[in-house]
Copies of this chain bind each other. A is one copy, B any other.
């Protein structure tokens, strides 16, 4: 006999087992509750997009980081790498929707990354976007939403690091950065501050032909970090207009976050830039202070220029997204999940074949009473059935024998306490439901 082959998910992908699924479902319910309270409506963009849609946001370089291919008619398609692109595409031509438009999604995405700790090639995010408001109220709204989601899940030891792309770009412009490309390349290096060693960062700046003095200035700028008031009072010299606009936005935001009672959770941190090209105002990243190794647990920012790439509507926009898988790691570490179970409440055990028909009847009645009930599908002996009940941690067994049937009762066994009582079905159902 030849050995059967063993099949697994592709490299970097994974299945979700039932225990993890219970936790994810529970998390999703909490997140949905918060989204509803904030007035966001749930949608789901298609998972498979035209490659041109994915590139419209991030340029052809994105091809190296995603799963894309040609279908049988030569169409270039790609699996989404985030939810922002799809949701933005969905609203960009819906001329009838009144602004602001507040939408969210919770779903899966795929990236062709090197798999590593807390980073799979398929993963899920919750994602909320506000279209049509250029006000810092909208920015505060998405930050507070992220905070409320974490707190709803029991994660209280977080910190939101805030900056503004206009400020960063204004600062770089005032340092004689000629081309837009060079500014963008510099921002991509700044995004690695804190993730790579200082020497590596400096080397990367040098490879962009940035002068030593300017490198020092950028490192100084990016080291500004602290309470909003302290950081904001320290205005960088010779800022371009765009940079001053960024500072102004950061000031307004601090004001609103203060009024929302949330400023204490925020650290103004000029090293925060976000790697993705389309951000053009607020940028932020939230970290679990007890687990920074998993990376940001939510992040986002303003992308006023994106929407018009996808259709007729040119709307300012701001949003936030968080990784379900990463938040789960934090929650597991801090033991924040409630007791969740997908285990049936009761198993109807049949003593022998003569009562088998009656057992189906009892199972049916229990289920009609919304009790999760299972029964023997393998024609096993009484002993084997009870072993199965035990090994599956099912809390109650109903034991059905000839004698009980004649008396019109059933025997309800508490599997952990090893106690039994004779009850009629209604009483048994009531008893099971209570526990």
Question: Contact residues of A with B, CB < 8 Å?
Answer: 4-11, 13-18, 21-22, 25, 32-33, 36-50, 52-53, 56, 64, 67, 69-72, 75, 77, 79, 86, 89-90, 92-93, 98-100, 102-103, 108, 110, 112, 122, 130, 132-133, 135, 137-138, 141, 148, 256, 259-261, 308-312, 314, 342, 344, 357, 360-361, 364, 367, 370-379, 388, 391-392
Q: Which 4 A-B pairs have the closest CB atoms?
A: A69-B69, A39-B374, A18-B41, A39-B344
Q: What separation, in Å, do the CA atoms of A42 and B70 have in the docked complex?
A: 33
Contacts A53-B7, A135-B379, A392-B98 known; A15 to B39 CB distance under 8 Å? no
Contact B133 A377 (CB under 8 A): yes
Contact A93 B6 (CB under 8 A): yes
Q: What separation, in Å, do the CA atoms of A9 and B78 have in the docked complex?
A: 11
Contact A132 B378 (CB under 8 A): yes
Q: What separation, in Å, do the CA atoms of A259 and B365 have in the docked complex?
A: 12
**Cβ-defined partner of A360 (8 Å) among B93, B260, B361:** B260
Contact A47 B108 (CB under 8 A): yes
**Cβ-defined partner of A377 (8 Å) among B16, B103, B138:** B138
Contact B99 A360 (CB under 8 A): no
The smallest beta-carbon distance between A373 and chain B, in angstroms, is 7
Q: Which residues of B contact A372 (CB under 8 A)?
A: 36-39
Closest to A308 in B: B4
Q: Which residues of B contact A40 (CB under 8 A)?
A: 342
Contact A75 B11 (CB under 8 A): yes
Contact A98 B388 (CB under 8 A): yes
**Cβ-defined partner of A4 (8 Å) among B16, B25, B110, B312:** B312
Contact B46 A13 (CB under 8 A): yes
Q: What separation, in Å, do the CA atoms of A22 and B219 have in the docked complex?
A: 48
Contact A10 B50 (CB under 8 A): yes
**Cβ-defined partner of A10 (8 Å) among B25, B77, B92, B133:** B77
Sample of 23 A–B contacts (CB below 8 Å): A4-B314, A6-B310, A9-B46, A9-B50, A10-B75, A15-B44, A21-B43, A25-B32, A36-B342, A37-B367, A37-B373, A40-B342, A46-B122, A48-B79, A69-B69, A69-B70, A98-B391, A98-B392, A130-B377, A135-B378, A137-B360, A259-B361, A260-B360
Further contacts, 17 of them, CB under 8 A, given A7-B53, A11-B75, A21-B43: A4-B311, A5-B310, A6-B312, A7-B310, A9-B45, A10-B48, A15-B43, A21-B42, A39-B344, A39-B373, A47-B108, A48-B67, A67-B69, A67-B77, A72-B112, A99-B378, A260-B364
Contact B7 A52 (CB under 8 A): yes
The smallest beta-carbon distance between A176 and chain B, in angstroms, is 32
Most chain B CB atoms below 10 A, which of A42, A56, A314: A42
Q: What separation, in Å, do the CA atoms of A56 and B388 have in the docked complex?
A: 31
Contact B38 A18 (CB under 8 A): no
Q: Which residues of B contact A46 (CB under 8 A)?
A: 9-10, 13-15, 122
Closest to A367 in B: B37
Contacts A16-B43, A43-B15, A103-B18 known; A6 to B36 CB distance under 8 Å? no
Contact A6 B100 (CB under 8 A): no
**Cβ-defined partner of A49 (8 Å) among B9, B17, B79, B391:** B9
Contact A10 B378 (CB under 8 A): no
Q: Which residues of B contact A378 (CB under 8 A)?
A: 99-100, 132-133, 135
The smallest beta-carbon distance between A252 and chain B, in angstroms, is 11
Q: What separation, in Å, do the CA atoms of A25 and B104 have in the docked complex?
A: 14
Contact A44 B21 (CB under 8 A): yes
Q: Which residues of B contact A130 (CB under 8 A)?
A: 377
Contact B15 A42 (CB under 8 A): no
The smallest beta-carbon distance between A349 and chain B, in angstroms, is 14
Q: Which residues of B contact A375 (CB under 8 A)?
A: 137
Q: Which residues of B contact A38 (CB under 8 A)?
A: 367, 372, 374
The smallest beta-carbon distance between A317 and chain B, in angstroms, is 11
Closest to A364 in B: B260
The smallest beta-carbon distance between A69 and chain B, in angstroms, is 3
Closest to A369 in B: B37
